[in-house]
């Protein structure tokens, strides 16, 4: 004797019809037509080899077999509803773990956490910092906030937030400040430029956009992470290059200046999460991040 289950759509149609005692009401609840429910009931009876309903006037009446299946399916579907509700609630109660680089976290996101928590009080955001080793495909991470270039990975849901804009910045404390602040961009060819190993392409991209041969640039002090690079720039150690959002507060406060402005790169700041783990909280967060990027000072 086969122990295979009948088609689940047929069982679902039967459970709803038996519970509501109406094919029409079952169709309405399941968002299908009356005929679709009737066909599923016929499929189920043919699979089981027994009649589940008999006509009773203008309605239907359960047979003894139908009563047995109604009781069993009602218990099974109710248990499924309970478990699904528990899982949904558990997911909603769990923190939303967002990964991003340490520089993006420290220089842009943390200063805005108070506003984010006030605007999205149910998000329960947990932050995980890293550089190059964060992957939302791995357990323990729900999404990744990252500067990256398309094309996007096929298995990722990607919310594009803004184009990346980069530019050279320096502190008024820098010894070469007065000499450089009104000089053309080509004047940087004579400087020992601060740079970072985490973004080696930044200076060459900027140089090409300004008609400067990348090989004409001279690298000075290097730093492992962008955060350290920008701290060095604020301390007056030289000219650094950075994404505009990460230095916006420093520019507004006068700790840094950007004499040559900012230029778009092929990259975007984007929120990534696996398609298999679509989460409505990610869409809310993406909308908030995009709005915050639009309101930030230049």
Q: Is the pLDDT of residue 83 over 70?
A: yes
Q: What is the pLDDT of residues 177-232, one digit of tens each?
A: 999 999 999 999 989 999 998 889 999 999 999 999 999 999 999 998 899 999 99
Q: Domain with 116 in it: what CATH number?
A: 3.40.190.10
Q: Are residues 54 and 188 in the same domain?
A: no
- Residue 88's pLDDT is 58
Domain boundary among 88, 118, 137: 88
Q: Are residues 217 and 227 in the same domain?
A: yes
pLDDT band at 130 (very low <50, low <70, confident <90, very high): confident
- Region of poorest pLDDT, from 149-158, 221-230, 276-285: 276-285
**Strands (DSSP E) along 39-109, which ranges?**
53-56, 59-62, 96-100
Q: Is the pLDDT of residue 87 over 70?
A: no
Domain boundary among 58, 88, 118: 88
Q: Are residues 143 and 273 in the same domain?
A: yes
Per the domain annotation, does 49 fall within a domain?
yes
- Residue 1's pLDDT is 47
Per the domain annotation, does 176 fall within a domain?
yes
| pTM score over 0.95 | no
User: How far apart are alpha carbons 280 and 180 in whole angstroms?
Assistant: 48
Mean pLDDT of 245-257: 95
Q: What is the pLDDT of residues 46-67, one digit of tens each?
A: 999 999 998 887 778 899 999 9
Domain interval for residue 130: 96-150+268-295
Q: Are residues 60 and 33 in the same domain?
A: yes
Domain boundary among 88, 115, 136: 88
The domain tally of the chain equals 3
HSE (side-chain half, CA atoms, 13 Å) at 90: 6
The average confidence (pLDDT) of the chain is 89
User: How far apart are alpha carbons 77 and 56 in whole angstroms?
Assistant: 26
Give the pair of three-digit tokens for residue 156.
């990722």
Give the pair of three-digit tokens for residue 210.
């300004």
């Amino acid at each position: 004797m086969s122990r295979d289950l009948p088609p689940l759509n047929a069982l679902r149609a039967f459970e709803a019809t038996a519970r509501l005692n109406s094919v029409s009401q079952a169709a309405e609840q399941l968002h299908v037509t009356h005929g679709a429910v009737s066909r599923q009931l016929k499929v189920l009876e043919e699979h089981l080899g027994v009649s589940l309903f008999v006509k009773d006037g203008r309605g239907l009446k359960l047979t003894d077999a139908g009563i047995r299946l109604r009781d069993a399916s009602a218990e099974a579907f109710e248990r499924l509803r309970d478990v699904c509700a528990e899982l949904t609630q558990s997911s909603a109660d769990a923190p939303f773990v967002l990964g991003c680089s340490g520089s993006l976290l420290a220089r842009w996101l943390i200063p805005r956490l108070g506003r984010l928590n006030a605007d999205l009080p149910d998000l329960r955001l947990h932050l995980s910092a890293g550089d190059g080793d964060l992957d939302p495909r791995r357990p323990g991470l729900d999404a990744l906030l990252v500067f990256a270039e398309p094309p996007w990975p096929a298995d990722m849901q990607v919310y594009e937030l803004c184009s990346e804009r980069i530019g050279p910045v320096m502190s008024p404390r820098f010894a070469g400040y007065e000499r450089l602040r009104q000089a053309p961009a080509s004047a940087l060819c004579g400087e020992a430029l601060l740079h970072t190993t985490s973004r080696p392409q930044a200076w060459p991209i900027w140089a090409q956009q300004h008609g400067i041969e990348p090989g004409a640039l001279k690298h000075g002090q290097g730093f492992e992470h962008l955060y350290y690079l920008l701290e060095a720039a604020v301390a007056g150690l030289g000219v650094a290059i950075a994404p505009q959002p990460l230095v916006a507060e420093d520019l507004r406060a006068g700790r840094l200046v950007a004499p040559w402005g900012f230029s778009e790169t092929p990259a975007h700041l984007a929120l990534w999460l696996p398609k298999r783990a679509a989460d409505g909280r990610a869409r809310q967060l993406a909308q908030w991040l995009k709005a915050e990027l639009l309101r930030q000072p230049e």
